[in-house]
Amino acid sequence: MKLEFRSVLARFLVYAVLSVGAVAMAFPFYWMLATSLKSPQEAQQTQPIWIPERLKPANWMAAARLGAQGGSALWGGYEAGRTVTLRIYTGVQGQKPRVSIPTALGAFSDPRAEGSLIRIRYAEGYWEISFTNASSESFRLLPVVVLLSKEYVGYRPELPPDAVRSSGDAWRLEWVNVAPGALGYIFHNYREAWSAAPFGRYFFNSFFTAGTQVLVGLLLAAMTAFALARIDFPGKGVVWLLILATLMIPGEVLLIPNYILLSRLGWINTYYALIVPWLASVFGIFLLRQFYLSLPNDLFDAARIDGASYWTQLVRLALPLSVPGLVTYGIFTFLGAYNALLWPLIVTDKPEMYTIQRGLQVFIGEAGSDYGALMAASTFSILPIVLGYFFAQKQFVQGIARSGIK
């Protein structure tokens, strides 16, 4: 009985430790997702906000109603001729709020601010603010600023503002879009992040450079590893030791020499700069050489007796038998190339050559960082990798297990 109790207790402790570890590992991912749904003020607050306002279902109905008035209950908007009405519940009638539509930063004029009719009236317990688009243009967003006197002890806008600041004797309530629609309200940062930069181009650059590194790198590593494992030539041991010695050199040491070389070749801001320096991998050569050494010698002896050349032995025997090693090396190479930041940051300064990780830098400027948009962009930058892992996790786990990498 005591042994059974101890076994159950030990199993419970193991599960408890594993559960705590899983939660700790998943927490940064949750925080990234939560921040991607926060308003700018929520994302910059020092006090942690675990559930953003945009994740609360009570706000979704108000966002859908305001969005339907502007154009779409799902994605909102501010179409020509439409009227959007916002309510602020104050309970009593006091000083009339002051309302404006802010002009976009750097813009000389804004047709939303100049072509909108704003009406303010007090109804039973709330201020009703109406915006009528009298222009001939339709807009995706309707930013609004309301200055509400501090004489109001309590107030409640039907749609929570994205920022609340103190402005003299009034509270400054700010909305980045007062007609968002239900989905436009929840995924506001995702829409803004996608429209802020050409992420389609960034994705193409990342997949093209990573895919080329995988294909060409596999070919070079397989040929080199086969020669070192299965072909006898003078100085093979010295060559192998020199290749292994390069593993001891930190990659950061090679950044400046590589940059100077590529600069003199005129390859800065080209795909050559992103791809060529990383085609040869000592890790790949080492991994595949160990695979080829573990294959039976009889196979290659029989092939030589039948007249097979080294190239035939590589293509017909070695490569089919080393698929787990090739898959493992390909996965690690692709992940390393896709997630690379430092090297693309050095050799590219034109937006059309940015990779996806390099493109995330557009949300970090001297004036500060837009953390909500940055986390939204980070989320859809890792989405292809996460989906790829879920679809190919069996091959990924088997490849690593068979290759002996822990």
CA 75, 77, 79, 82 dihedral sign is: positive
Residue 242's pLDDT is: 92
Alpha-carbon distance 41 to 162, whole Å?
7
Query: In angstroms, rounded to a whole number, what is the distance separating the alpha carbons of residues 166 and 148?
Result: 10
pLDDT of residue 396: 66
270-296 in b/e burial notation, b at 16+ Cβ within 10 A? Answer: beebbbbbbbebbebbbbbbebbeeee
> What does pTM read for this prediction?
0.83
pLDDT given for residue 406 in this prediction: 43
Rounded to 10°, the helix 323-338/371-403 angle is 160
What is the DSSP code (8-state) at residue 234? T
Q: CA-to-CA distance for 311 and 322, rounded, in angstroms?
A: 15
Of 287, 308, 307, 309, which is closest to residue 228 (Cα–Cα)? 287
How many angstroms separate the CA atoms of 301 and 338, rounded? 40
Q: What is the pLDDT of residue 47?
A: 84
CA distance 404 to 394: 16
Q: Helix, strand or coil for residue 231?
A: coil
Structure tokens at 115: 């072509």
Q: What is the pLDDT of residue 2?
A: 66
Q: Which pLDDT value is given to residue 363?
A: 83
Q: How far apart are CA 285 and CA 245, in angstroms?
A: 13
For 272-327, what is each residue's pLDDT tens digit? 999 999 998 888 899 899 888 988 888 888 988 988 899 999 999 899 888 888 88
- The full DSSP string for 114-177 is HHEEEEEEE-SSEEEEEEEE-SS--BS---EEEEEETT-S--EESS--SEEEEETTEEEEEES-
| CA 332 to each of CA 159, 251, 308, 328: distance values in angstroms, whole numbers, following the listed order | 46, 16, 32, 6
DSSP string covering 83-131: EEEEEEE-SS--SPPEEE-PPPTT-S--HHHHHEEEEEEE-SSEEEEEE
pLDDT-flagged residues of the chain (< 70)? 1-3, 105-107, 366-368, 395-406
pLDDT tens across 217-259, in order? Answer: 999 999 999 999 989 989 999 999 998 898 888 888 888 999 9
Angle between helices 282-294 and 199-230 (to 10 degrees): 40
Neighbours of 145 (CB within 10 A): 18
Residue type, 175: W
How distant is the alpha carbon of residue 238 from its chain centre? 44
CA distance 114 to 79: 15
Reported in sequence order, the residue ranges of 32-100 that DSSP labels E, i.e. its strands, are: 83-89, 98-100
**pLDDT of the residue at 329:** 86
Neighbour-count burial of 131, counting CB atoms closer than 10 A to its CB (0-12 exposed, 13-18 middle, 19+ buried): buried
Tell me which CATH code domain 199-367 carries: 1.10.3720.10
